[in-house]
Amino acid sequence: MNFANTPRFSNQGLRPGSQLLLCVLTSLALLIGDSQFGLMDRTRDALSVVLYPIQRAVNMPMAAAAHIGEFFITQTSLKQENAELRSRELAQSARLARLTSLEQEVQQLKALNGLRTGSLQAGHLGEVLYTARDPFSYKIIIDKGLDAGLAAGLPVVDERGLVGQITRVQPLTAEVTLIIDKNQMVPVVNQRTGQRSLLYGYGGGVEVRYLPAAADIQPGDLLVTSGIDGLYSEGIPVARVTRVDRPAGASFARVLCQSIAGVQSSRYVLVLPPRAAMPPRPEPAAQPAKPKKKKDTEDEG
């Protein structure tokens, strides 16, 4: 079975070989221009606006299905959940009361020491539109962009911890590079020991690199953002150490971690506002969008 193809009698256009050569050269130029020099960002912005309504339209049936699923929920499960929430609220309120007093105490102490306090402002709630299907990059697209005043470099969290960082802002959408992406770095501090280190994504997971083999770190340690990079506010949970190998010949320990946040599964994320208070640097400031430039300041701190 085949379609009725009229054979090509006259030679039309370029020969396949030259067509291929043309296409390959163009795509190689595009690839290099995009990856090395970022020349295609404007084009990508424009095209993303065109694609946005399609994305929304495609998302709609999924959202509707989820909504209907929520509507037909049994009363028993609702009641059960209600009771659970009530008991949790009681427990939380007790903790909250303690926390507020502690917070006041800390504020006073910090005021005494003349330290700046990082104020926590509300962020922008973003819905994950889709995860990019490109398996080489760990990125998600959220439905807030320039319209909500987002900028590249802002940290993105979910209800459990750090998810990633905004790397590209388009008029209506923004691209979030997850912490597990290759070359994505987060300055962290070990909550148990207070030791600072750098958490690297390696494409699918996170690990702590360049930590001396004798460093005090053990499975179960919680790593939170250190906040000394001027980008992430301090104390956001990032990862938990799962395994520590100390190979005999190597000078660095191999520390594997598990991210705390549902990095690839959360549906809603919160984009935190930029940190307002940062003391001026003694040296010319590096670009705020790239935490990897901050490595030297990290070592000083």
Q: Which residues bind other proteins (CB under 8 A)?
A: 1-6, 8, 16-17, 19-20, 23-24, 26-36, 40, 43-44, 47-48, 51, 54-55, 58-59, 62, 128-137, 139, 141, 175, 182, 202-204, 264-265
Rounded Cα gap, residues 124 and 237, in angstroms? 19
Q: CB of 32: closest distance to other proteins in angstroms?
A: 8
Nearest residue (CB) to other proteins, 184 versus 225: 184
Q: Burial-class residue 297 by CB neighbours within 10 Å (0-12, 13-18, 19+).
A: middle
In the block, residue with structure tokens 């208070």: 277
Nearest residue (CB) to other proteins, 40 versus 278: 40
Nearest residue (CB) to other proteins, 174 versus 217: 174
Question: Which residues, including other chains, have CB under 8 Å from residue 44's CB and lie 6 or more apart?
Answer: 168, 170
- Tell me how far apart the terminal alpha carbons of the chain are, to the nearest angstrom: 72
Nearest residue (CB) to other proteins, 60 versus 102: 60
In whole angstroms, how far apart are CA 214 and each of 47, 75, 217, 239, 253?
51, 56, 9, 20, 7
Q: CB of 281: closest distance to other proteins in angstroms?
A: 29
Residue closest to 192 by CA, chosen among 228, 233, 223, 214: 223
Q: CB of 31: closest distance to other proteins in angstroms?
A: 4
Q: By the 8 A CB rule, do 189 and 178 touch?
A: no
Nearest residue (CB) to other proteins, 61 versus 280: 61
Q: CB of 26: closest distance to other proteins in angstroms?
A: 7
Nearest residue (CB) to other proteins, 142 versus 154: 142
Nearest residue (CB) to other proteins, 54 versus 248: 54
Q: CB of 204: closest distance to other proteins in angstroms?
A: 8
Q: By the 8 A CB rule, do 180 and 162 touch?
A: no
Nearest residue (CB) to other proteins, 30 versus 285: 30
Q: CB of 83: closest distance to other proteins in angstroms?
A: 31
Rounded Cα gap, residues 231 and 278, in angstroms? 10
Q: CB of 121: closest distance to other proteins in angstroms?
A: 29
| Token digits of residue 281 | 């640097």
Q: CB of 146: closest distance to other proteins in angstroms?
A: 17
Residue closest to 288 by CA, chosen among 233, 238, 229: 229
Rounded Cα gap, residues 21 and 137, in angstroms? 28
Rounded Cα gap, residues 264 and 89, in angstroms? 28
Rounded Cα gap, residues 157 and 261, in angstroms? 8
Give the up-direction half-sphere exposure of residue 108: CA atoms within 13 A in the CB hemisphere.
6
